[in-house]
Amino acid sequence: MRFFWPKSFLLLVLIGFLVIALPLIVVLVNAEISMNRLAVQGAQTVLSSVTVTQESSKLVEQIVSMERIARQFSVLKDRQILVNLEAKHGDLTASLDTLEQLLGATAQQEDLAGIRQGVDGLHQIVTAGSFAEQPLKNALDGFSDLHQRARRIHQESQDLIIREIGNMLKASEDKRRDLLVQAVGFILLTVVSIIFFSRLIAHPIREIDQGIRRLGESDYTGTITVTGPKDLESLGDRLDWLRQRLGEVEQEKNKFLAHVSHELKTPLASIREGSELLSDELVGELNEQQREVAKILCKNSVQLQKLIENLLGFSAGQAKLEQLLDRPFDLEGIVEEVLEDQHPAILKKELSIDVQLVPFDLLGDRDRIRIVVDNLLSNAVKFTPSGGSILLKTYNEGPWKMLEVADSGPGVPVPERAKIFQPFYQSGTPSQGFVRGTGLGLSIVREYVLEHGGQVSVTESSLGGALFRIGFPAQGKRQAT
C-alpha cells in the first residue's frame, strides 16, 4: 500500500477534503441542473396552456362574429359585407392553424377539422357568388355544430391546463424524491469517505504517538516505524534515530552508575569501618571530645551511605532496569522493620511514635515498598523537632489500601506541595538534621508508588506538620502513569 501514499501529509489531508466534498458538490450541482430544467419545462407548459386557452377563446368569438356577419349577408345581400366576411375567415383560419400546431396529435384535431370544413364551406358558397337561399341557409344552420365544437375545444383547453399543472406537480415530486435518494446515497458515501480518510490520516499519527510514548516509557528495544506520507515516514526515521541515541545514552549512564556505585561504596565502607573502630575504642581509649567526633563520623557516614543509595536507587528506578515483582507481602512487617532501623534516630530526638496498623497484604515489589516507607519515615524524623510526634497509620478505603505518615514538624507550604515530588527539589523548610538531603527521597517515593498503580499526596496533618497519604489498589492492578 506504500505507493498509494502521497508525498506529504498536507497533500493527504487536501485529497481527503476533496474526496469528502466531491459527493456533496455533485448533489448540489445535480439539484441545481434538475431544478432549472424543471423550471424551464414548467414555464413552457404554462405558456403553451395559456396560449391554447387564449386561442380557443378567440376561436369561439371569431365563430360568433363570422356567424353574425354571414346572417347579415343572407338578409341584406350586400357585397360590402363580403369584405368583412373574407377578413373574418382569414382570422379564423389563422387561429385554427395555431391551435393545430399547439394541440398536436390529440382528439381535438377532429373538432378543429370540422370547424375548418364548415367555415371553408360557407366561404366557398359566398365567394362563388351563389345567393341561393337553400345552400346559404344550410351553411348558416351548420354554425350550431361549429359553436359546439369550439366550446368543446375551449373546455378541453381548460382541462389541459389542469392536467399540465398536475403533471408539473407530479414531475416536481418525482424529482424531489430522486434528489432525496441521491442525497442519502451521497451522504452515506461521504460518511464512508470520512471514516476511511480519518483512519488513513490517524494511522501514521497513531504510530508516531506510540513511538513517542515508548520513548517516554524508556522502551528503546523495538524499531520505531511510521507508515504514511514521505514527510511522516522521515519523521519516523528521526524518532528511531532518537531511540537509538537514547538507548546509547541509557547504556552509558548504567555503566557510569555501576562504576560510581563501586567507586563510592568502597571508600565509604572504609570510612564507616574506621569510624566504628574509633567509636568502639578498639584502637585505643578516647577522651570525651574525641568520642564525640567519632560519633559524628559514624552518623554522617551512615547518612552519606543512605544518600548514595537514594541516588543510585532513583537512577535505577528511572531507567526501570529491574522488573517489578508481583508477590504478596505484609505491609505491617515492612513498617516494623523500618521503625527498628530508625529507632536510634527516634530515640535521640525523643520522638513520640503512634502506630495504628490494620493488617493487610499488598501485591508488588516488597523491596521498593520498603524504600517508600523508609523514605517517608526518614523524612518525618528529619523535619520533626525534638520531642515531637509522628503518626504511622494503615487502613482500607474502598478499593484502596492506605498508608499515612504524619508529623508535627513545620509542614509543607501549599506552593511547594506540587514540587516536592520532583527530582532534586530542595524545600525551603529547614530540617532538623545535620546533612542536607539530595531532594530524591520523595521523588523515589512517587516513582515507586506510581509503578504499583498507586497515588501519593501531601496535606496538612492534625499534628500540625505534613501528612503524606499513599494509596495502593486493593487488587494490585497497575495503572498507567
Which carries the bigger pLDDT value, residue 470 or residue 125? Answer: 470
pLDDT of 434 higher than 60: no
pLDDT of residue 79: 67
Report the run of H or E that residue 381 belongs to, with start and end: helix 366-383
- The CA-to-CA distance between both ends of the chain, in Å, stands at 36
**Cβ neighbours of residue 280 under 8 Å, at least 6 residues apart?**
none
pLDDT of 153 higher than 50: yes
Segment 273-295 shows an average pLDDT of: 79
Handedness of CA 307, 310, 314, 320 (dihedral sign): positive
Report the run of H or E that residue 459 belongs to, with start and end: strand 455-460
The structure's pTM equals: 0.45
pLDDT of residue 478: 47
pLDDT bin (cut points 50, 70, 90) of residue 258 is: low
Rg (CA), the chain: 53
**Cβ neighbours of residue 95 under 8 Å, at least 6 residues apart?**
55, 58, 59, 62
SS3 55: helix
pLDDT digits (tens, 9 = 90+) for 172-198: 888 788 878 878 888 888 888 888 888
pLDDT digits (tens, 9 = 90+) for 2-50: 546 777 777 778 888 888 888 778 878 888 887 788 778 777 777 777 7
pLDDT of 105 higher than 60: no
Pairwise CA distance, residues 464 & 389, whole Å: 10
pLDDT of 107 higher than 70: no
Pairwise CA distance, residues 481 & 478, whole Å: 9
SS3 396: strand
Pairwise CA distance, residues 413 & 64, whole Å: 113
Amino acid symbol at 4: F
pLDDT of residue 405: 92
Pairwise CA distance, residues 74 & 134, whole Å: 11
Q: For residue 334, count other CB atoms closer than 10 A to its CB.
A: 20
Pairwise CA distance, residues 315 & 311, whole Å: 6
Nine-digit cell at 404?
Answer: 499515612
Say how far residue 246 (Cα) sits from the centre of its chain. Answer: 33
Look over the chain and give the mean of its residue pLDDT values, rounded to a whole number.
78
Show the domains of the chain with their CATH numbers.
Answer: 2-196 (1.20.120.1730), 220-321 (1.10.287.130), 323-473 (3.30.565.10)
Most confident of 54-58, 314-318, 341-345: 341-345
Segment 270-297 shows an average pLDDT of: 79
Pairwise CA distance, residues 155 & 41, whole Å: 23
- The Cα-based distances of 295 to 132, 214, 266, 275, 363 in angstroms read 164, 49, 21, 8, 40
**Cβ neighbours of residue 403 under 8 Å, at least 6 residues apart?**
331, 373, 376, 392, 393, 394, 469, 470, 471, 472
Amino acid symbol at 431: S
Pairwise CA distance, residues 217 & 211, whole Å: 10
**Cβ neighbours of residue 261 under 8 Å, at least 6 residues apart?**
308, 312
Could you say which DSSP state residue 462 is in?
A: T
Given the C-alpha cell 405558456, which residue does it identify? Answer: 47
Helix/strand/coil (H, E, C) string of 141-163? HCHHHHHHHHHHHHHHHHHHHHH
Residues 46, 47, 49, 51: what is their CA dihedral angle, to the nearest 10 degrees? 160
